[in-house]
Chain A
């Protein structure tokens, strides 16, 4: 058995088949250990895959041994490998840190089901990313969505339930839109394999169903990706979810939908529909700009720590979409890079939030006064990740913002305006990150409240490690940059 050849399948299968086994691990702690082990194996697989496709080649896998359009094909290229790293990295990191936080938030007899759902989310998300088949993407979208509803509903916070219900409604509508689009495309082409759709769409003469399909698929995925103004489900879902779930989902869940959106658009529609790149730019750019500005403004006035960071996530989705909307090499590579860097920054921030939440019941900013004196390491990690979110030189966030600005300048006469928007929104990020820092470092503690010690060592170590990674990838961005560049090249090649 040639292990490397099987890796694209194993990437999905390992977490997927571990999920039912985890349910059986009843005694306390065992479920966590099993899930963490499975997630770490997934991460190792993703790492191996990333190294294998670093030079721009694509790994293909024929499921069931059936050749591509007849069976289901998996394919891993630089773009998918980057996402795989983000998903499995976020899943494994959050799990590594999760134990004490989850013990606090989820009753121990429910934990096996919880960790099982966690692995299902993981396998669903990687399943979407490695799939080269439009319907298969839908199936894994269902797995990841259903399981993520479970995770978000998992905590002791009853407000999570209405939040999940809203998320469930929006998610279902998004998935249904996607499915309607895929149905229309199947009706016109008779195939579900993405590359095959691209080949056969060229011969379709009645183009209207395809146009409607493009619309439905784009809107459905935009809903799942929380593109402004379809983001209304995000703040509550992120805020009331168990803290470690927020770490995991905020780092990767919406990005996977964005990944499918970009891939579908570049690989299928732009190659076959006339002027579609202009339509895509006209659709994506205004929404991206509005999302960046409005969500950042909301974050500036938000008083709850998690809700603030959730708003900021919507703005960051805007950056990624903005890069993609340039339809250029530089723009796409900035987008792909920001997918990676934002996961690092936001994942780190939410990890620090989870550490704070372990000690503080109330995460409103005015309750967190003086936290830095009591939890110095947590707050230091928070500041580092916050700097990365703003895009300060020397952190990972700087790299992608720099690339984005370069791409904006290349994008035409409007370039300066776009640069101004990016700079203004970065200043807004300075404001909202500073508000948190001010609360943590400079406000007086609320009387009689507050912890006397740091979060558990395990959580703290993971958080600190992610903060350091934010600096490491700010100074040595070669590996993700190379993946992002090959991803951009592949996407542009696909759109020709």
Chain B
């Protein structure tokens, strides 16, 4: 049953991808990429990667689509006509696809317990997590602690993306008393989206908080939570107008969340170092090393959530405010 469903999803995925390449209407392309992300999220779910699926749905299908649409408003929704070059690209992509397919002939069967992936590190993680960290969700243990340094790196990727957009779009850094121009935008006069959207927002934010604090037990964590909460706020901005959203959470707060989140995560690492452990060795944070690990993961996840939520919103506002500034 699941196989048929997976095949169906993958076929749709390919069709969508081809449609994205073929269309020269950028608005259609954006909508299709949103569908692509949603299909992708479903695929991740089938592969039991619920946390990745959540993020993909929130970021890929939600936030990115809105940001793309903001960008389209600045440029135009028609692709510039171009001649030639497509065949070269098509040829290259085909050859690469064949190569990867060739490589997968010798791959271990999906879910094969004898596959090297399940023989080496995974058993150790499964066996040692209860002993060292004592939380039910091993994925959180790996991402937050065993490979927490990678996660710190990813937070700084988000940070870099955020300052990059702010820098290039030239939105001046927040100043105090910057007046927010009140302008009637958004969907205030459309009753149905208004009512439905307003009903949805509290649930989205609540779900985001649940994902944030439930990461130790089920799929979840800071990245997903930050993205989901940001989606809720962006929905509010779409309904009520960007300036209303900015009034609710001003730009300075957003930037503060990004900086604070990144520093909170890094600061935990430094604190571990000062307390005699290695960088990000949470065991030294409390007298009981297991509790120290849990405490460390809790704090860094909070940092991740703050940074991701702030960055997504800051990027959204940078695009959305562009029109007014120019």
Contact = CB atoms under 8 A, between A and B. Distances in A.
A61 B259 CA distance: 27
B73 to A, nearest CB: 19
A152 B105 CA distance: 42
Interface stretch (B96-104, B180-188, B199-207, B240-248): B96-104
B316 interface: no
B262 interface: yes
Given A135-B150, A188-B116, A20 B259 contact: yes
Interface range, A side: 35 or more
Given A72-B150, A212-B99, A16 B266 contact: yes
A82 B87 CA distance: 43
A24 B164 CA distance: 15
Interface residues of B, number: 60
B164 A136 contact: no
A6 interface: yes
A71 B167 contact: no
A373 B102 CA distance: 64
B149 A70 contact: no
Interface stretch (A107-115, A310-318, A344-352, A431-439): A107-115
B56 interface: no
A110 B170 contact: yes
Interface stretch (B43-51, B117-125, B231-239): B117-125
Interface string A29-70: 000000000000000000000000000000001111110011
Contacts of A430: none
Contacts of A150: 160, 163-164, 167-168
B149 A72 contact: yes
B146 interface: yes
A387 to B, nearest CB: 38
A142 B110 CA distance: 29
A290 interface: no
Contacts of A1: 273-274, 276
Nearest to A188: B116
23 contacts: A17-B266, A17-B267, A20-B259, A21-B259, A63-B279, A66-B146, A70-B124, A70-B128, A70-B146, A71-B147, A116-B163, A123-B156, A139-B153, A142-B154, A143-B156, A146-B160, A149-B164, A153-B167, A187-B115, A187-B116, A190-B118, A190-B120, A208-B105
The 9 A-B residue pairs whose C-beta atoms are closest, nearest first, are A206-B106, A65-B281, A139-B153, A212-B103, A190-B120, A190-B116, A63-B149, A146-B160, A9-B279
Given A64-B282, A65-B277, A190-B122, 10 more contacts: A63-B278, A66-B145, A69-B120, A113-B166, A117-B163, A139-B150, A184-B103, A186-B117, A190-B115, A191-B120
Interface of B: 99-100, 102-108, 115-122, 124-125, 128, 145-150, 153-154, 156-157, 159-161, 163-164, 166-168, 170, 172-173, 255, 258-259, 262-263, 266-267, 269-270, 273-274, 276-283
